Amino acid sequence: MKQQRLITKLTMFLIVTLLSGCTHIDRQLSPQEQTFVGTWVTDDETAQQDLGEVLVFSSDGTVRFNTKVTGTFEVDPGNYLLITISADGAPTQHVFDYEFSNNQTTLRLLYQNTGRMYTYFSQ
């Protein structure tokens, strides 16, 4: 009887230990989101001032602006690019219309808050 309790306790301990490492779930990027993955650069001064000279979209759903600002990105069902940045602990969401051209080597982003158009090129 004692041996059965010990085996049960060890089994429970192993299950809890194994499951405790399963709290992080990686988000799978949609095919539209996969199109953004990579390094994008611009020579447009307005884009450089507002967003940065370099945008890096990663396969884990994060985006980095000139290595100073990071956030997450997703494409919503209406085909808008949503970028969420946490500044001072408060997340802010930025919405862009987007368009790829030139065999997906040119990315145009229209920022909905200002109406400014930014053009980036795949690196």
Could you report the per-residue pLDDT of 65-102, keeping only the tens digit for each?
887 789 999 999 788 999 999 877 789 999 999 999 99
Q: Which CATH number is associated with domain 30-122?
A: 2.40.128.270
Cα-flanking dihedrals φ and ψ of residue 84, to 5°?
-110, 125
pTM metric for this prediction: 0.75
pLDDT the model gives residue 122: 97
- The tens digit of pLDDT for each residue in 38-65 reads 999 999 999 999 999 999 999 999 999 8
pLDDT the model gives residue 6: 38
Secondary structure, 3-state, the chain? CHHHHHHHHHHHHHHHHHHHCCCCCCCCCCHHHHCCCEEEECCCHHHHHHCCCEEEECCCCEEEECCCEEEEEEECCCCEEEEEEEECCEEEEEEEEEEEECCCCEEEEEECCCCCEEEEEEC
What residues does each domain of the chain span? 30-122
Give the model's confidence band at 3: pLDDT under 50 very low, under 70 low, under 90 confident, else very high: low
